[in-house]
Each structure stands twice: as C-alpha cells, then as structure tokens.
Structure 1
C-alpha cells in the first residue's frame, strides 16, 4: 500500500467502537472481523458465497470497493505469483473451473486469485495463537498489516513451529501456510491500533473440484465412487509429496516462472 489505510477511519459507519454491532470476543482474539468470499467445509454440501447480515454486507462492500484495499489485495496475489509460481498455477487450475462450474459464486477482487478475505477491523487486532485448519494445508495465507504502532515493540508476528518472532510493520505483508503453522501477534501498547487484510483459500474448494464437483460423501455414494476417490487421493504420502513439489526453491524461481508463465 502506498499510504497507511486506517480501516477504522475509512469506515465511519459506526462510532464509537463499542457501538459496533458485532461480537468482538472470539477464539482468535478481541477485535472485529468481517469475512467475505467463497466458503466450503463444515458440513456444506457445495461451495457458496459467505452469507452475512445487511449491516455487515454494507461494510464489507465498502471495504471491497476501496481502491487502496483492492490494490493491497492485488499485491498479495502478485506476491503469490512471484514466489510460488507452481502453487499459483495450481490455484488457477482448481479455482477457474470452480467459478466456471458455478457462475453464482462471487469473486472478491478481479486482481487476486485468492477467493476469501477477512478484514480485521480492530481497533486492536491482536490474534491469539491459532492455526486456520479449514484453509488449504499447502496454501499460503497473506496478511497485510496496518494501524498505528511501534513495530519494534508491538504486533510482532510469531510462527510457533518455525520458532520465529518477526517484526511486522504497518503496510508490510507476510505469507505463510496458516493451516499448518500456529501463529499470532504480540500485544499492542495502550494507545496503539492494528488492522489487517487477510486473503486465503478454504481447502474444501480444492477437494470439491478434484472430486468432480462433489463432496467426499457424494462421491462415495455413486457407483464406483470408492475407486474414484482412491485414485483422486493417491497412495499414502503422495499428496504430501505432490504438495511439496509445488513449492519453489530460491534457485528454481526463474526456471519455474518460465515453465509456468512463458506460454
């Protein structure tokens, strides 16, 4: 982002903070999240657009239409393309058929491959340690920071399994597989604020496409479904190996880009 976007100031729909009509205490922290895009999982029979009350929809649409936020979300997608070219193409190969198969699904941003976004509207968006288990395990979660805080002292990003604590300044962006790495933020000072834009992809979307636009249960219910599922799933350990192969090493990035995008 070229300038700091104070999401709270950009949304003068409700003020003061404690009059905002959303529950702010949840398992990820005490702040206001607004999520929109495509969802699949948790018992859904098919992918669908995330439903939300009218007030929340107004706020989400206002955020989605903001040119700076659109630019930030496009930048996140560009990072994905630059540093994960093979994985990016795999997303295209799964998500493009998904949207073609069901035109009712709405894409958040025309300049981003990622189908789901959460705006953490603070004013103190400090997340507890957690993993996003419904996200695609090998997929990346992109987080763009914002707010008014001293990044040398506050709002550090910590990644538990990697044993890393990283300074995370306003307007910077991180990318990591949030389904398998537990993560969170260190606290803010009394007068500090933090907001965030997070894009990601639910893992169920990819499974739905792989299974021929069916759930696992629907696939198994059809004739020959068990054999088809076994074929799609592959041998034990194969999905892990195939997933790791979609990650590029630093010295492979140039050749991977050429292979993926020079057609």
Structure 2
C-alpha cells in the first residue's frame, strides 16, 4: 500500500545487514551505481531524486547504501544460479537493472547472459556487471558447465516502477490520488517519451567524458 522496507525475520535481517557491510558487495553495488552515472546520467538523476524524495517523506525507510540510487537489491545464492527467460515487469519500464555475476566458473562453457530480443548470447564471467532495461527486455542465463565444483550467484539492483508512480501521485496510492480528484500532469504517451528521453546518446556522453584540451 506504500513504500516500505522488506519485512524480514530477525535472523534474516541480521544476515542481510551483515551482507551489506561486506566490502566486496559494497564495491560491486557502487560500481553498478557509478556505471549508471557515467552512461545514463539523466536516468541516474531520476532514480536519485525519486529515492531521495521518498526517503525524505518517510524517515523510517532505510536505504541499502546511502550513496546509491537503486532502491532495492537481491542476491540469488545459487549455488548454481540459473534464471529462466523472463522480464522484471514490476521494475520501472524504461529503467535499468544492474546484474552482477558472482562465483567461480568457466564463462566459456556456461553462465552466459542471453538477451532474447536482441538475439545476443554474451560471455559473462564472475565479477561482470551489466545494466539492462529488464522490465521490457527478455533475458536469462545459461546453466553452468558439467564441472560439479563450479558455482554461480547473482547480485541484482533495481527500482520498482511503483516508487516513481508513488511520487507522481504526491506520495499516495494511485487510488487515493484519483479519489481526491487529482489528475496526472502528463499522458501515458508523454510519460513514455520522457522515459525514452532519459537515455543518453553517444555524442552526449562524449562531451561529458572528453578531457579539456590543455593550453599549448
């Protein structure tokens, strides 16, 4: 009915908090966060301002990392994690989900990332991170090879589309928003165009990362 932290029993809460404190996991999380900042700065700003706004209105909410714009994270412990073809339809439709592979396996023989709509099969070694629009792009990963000592886990970061709708509805449910006689300030088509607009073009990115020419 409203944004909230996932309800966990005391044992799982303690485990999750301990995992978040691991230096390796924090580095993986912040690498994905920084990657979005570099390659999709407009989307990064949208994620950040939305999460900031939600947390400002509800001080009981706890972010996974204070300096990270993703609202949620999940870990698939495996030990031989395999995802069947799917879309994460509850995520922001045009948003990015960060996927990081963890484990020890031969990426030439298994664990490939498969992007069905793009007809791509990508070697995805342990430690690799990719950001994809997982709500609209069908994806899965190949099972590992035959070596029984191989293992694979996955660390995922994302933000639910409902969070962005919550902010647009002035921090209330859509039902309450409409019941109060309120109307969205933009149509569905306009919202989609705005969403497409947060993607960065290569020429824009080059201007952000190109070093200033030094004076001779």
Q: Fold match, TM over 0.5? A: yes
Q: 1:93 offset after TM fit, Å?
A: 2.1
Q: 1:104 maps to which residue?
A: 60
Residues 218-262 of structure 1, C-alpha deviation per residue, up to 9 Å, x if partnerless? Answer: 10111x32xx23x2xx2342111111111001111144679xxxx
Q: 1:146 offset after TM fit, Å?
A: 1.2
Output aligned runs, 1:77-116, within 5 Å. 77-116=33-72
d(CA) in 1 for partners of 2:45 and 2:200? 12
Is 2:165 the partner of 1:207?
A: yes
d(CA) in 2 for partners of 1:154 and 1:189? 5
Q: Secondary structure at the match of 2:153?
A: strand
RMSD: 1.5
Question: Contact (CA 8 Å) 1:85, 1:256: kept in 2 or not?
Answer: no
Could you tell me which runs of 5 or more consecutive residues in structure 1 were left unpaired when the two chains were aligned. 1-44, 259-263
Q: 1:177 offset after TM fit, Å?
A: 0.6
Q: Secondary structure at the match of 2:143?
A: coil
* Matching residue within 169, 176, 191 for 2:125: 169
Residues 36-65 of structure 1, C-alpha deviation per residue, up to 9 Å, x if partnerless? Answer: xxxxxxxxx110010112232222112111
Output aligned runs, 1:28-107, within 5 Å. 45-107=1-63
Could you tell me which runs of 5 or more consecutive residues in structure 2 were left unpaired when the two chains were aligned. 211-216
Q: 1:29 maps to which residue?
A: none
d(CA) in 1 for partners of 2:118 and 2:11? 39
* Matching residue within 101, 105, 108 for 1:145: 101
TM-score in terms of structure 1 length: 0.76
d(CA) in 1 for partners of 2:188 and 2:128? 38
Q: Secondary structure at the match of 1:112?
A: coil
Q: 2:214 maps to which residue?
A: none
d(CA) in 2 for partners of 1:102 and 1:257? 36
Is 2:171 the partner of 1:219?
A: no
